[in-house]
Amino acid sequence: MGKYAQLVIGPAGCGKSTYCNHLYEHCQAIRRSVHVVNLDPAAESFSYPCSLDIRDLVSLEDVMEELSLGPNGGLLYCMEYLEENLHDWLGEELEGYGEEDYLVFDCPGQIELYNHLSVFRSFVDFLKNDGWSVCVVYCLDAHFITDVAKFMAGALQALAAMVKLELPHVNILTKVDLLEDKRHLEDFLFPDPALLLPQLAASTGPRFRQLNGAMAGLLDEFSLVAFLPLDITDEDSIADILGQIDLAIQYGEDAEPRLRDEALGEGADDDDDGGDGGADI
């Protein structure tokens, strides 16, 4: 088997750390090894065991104090410092991981890091050059579907990250369990701009009609943005998401059938002769 990683990104407060914790607990339950890495220099605490921590290299609190920077400027400095030290710090830290290891990177929530700056493109290029198969997991708060304008903005942010990072990409609507009304959820999992455009026009006014049409046309032209729902009260929800990510990065595809079953957490019968027992995901 190879080396695999998830890069968990998305706006601040969208549930990235909750997803990482739920994924970790699910993998523990199915006896699958996973290591969660904190890449947020402003993080204060974790609900999951943290295998690697960027704060061992640089922390936002120290940067703000020593350089008299605000939170946003300090975070940008921290991430640029990470970019400069990818080989020296991250390279050394990853030397302890090899074949059959699976890393989940819990990233900060400033979207400009993914859409405008070079730091995460340099980061994923470093991982790929080191032999890691990487999937981006973009988290968007399901509350966005209650306002079609916010949802369109979130979908365009996801599209920008897909274009910028050029990696296998899985988009997730988080906090679905907190939605009071799920009747229209399916309309946003596979968004059809032609159906959403009238709602967008009604909520933004006539002077934005041309802009709304251009945004809808952009999503329709690429036809790349779709979402998977994450309901942390439903174990099948995280299992379905993990299955899609495994498929995107071909996790376990190069293993023997019995080993592949074990890697996917499905086990194998004692009398299995190692034939075509691979999981269908």
Residue 233: give its domain's CATH number: 3.40.50.300
* Cα 183 to Cα 254: distance, rounded to the nearest angstrom: 41
Residue 106: closest CA among 22, 168, 183: 22
Report if residue 270 sits inside a domain: no
Query: Mean pLDDT, the chain, as a whole number?
Result: 86
Report if residue 258 sits inside a domain: no
Report if residue 173 sits inside a domain: yes
91 and 198 in a single domain? The answer is no
Confidence of residue 276 (pLDDT cuts 50, 70, 90): very low
* Structure-block tokens of residue 191: 């968004």
pLDDT tens sequence across 11-58: 999 999 999 999 999 999 999 999 999 999 999 888 899 999 999 999
Percent of the chain whose pLDDT exceeds 70:
89
Q: Residue 168's CB: how many other CB atoms inside 10 A?
A: 17
92 and 107 in a single domain? The answer is yes
145 and 111 in a single domain? The answer is yes
Contacts of 10 (CB under 8 A, 6+ apart): 16, 109, 111, 138, 139, 140, 174
Query: Whole domain around residue 218: which residue ranges?
Result: 192-223
The pTM of this model reads 0.85
Confidence of residue 111 (pLDDT cuts 50, 70, 90): confident
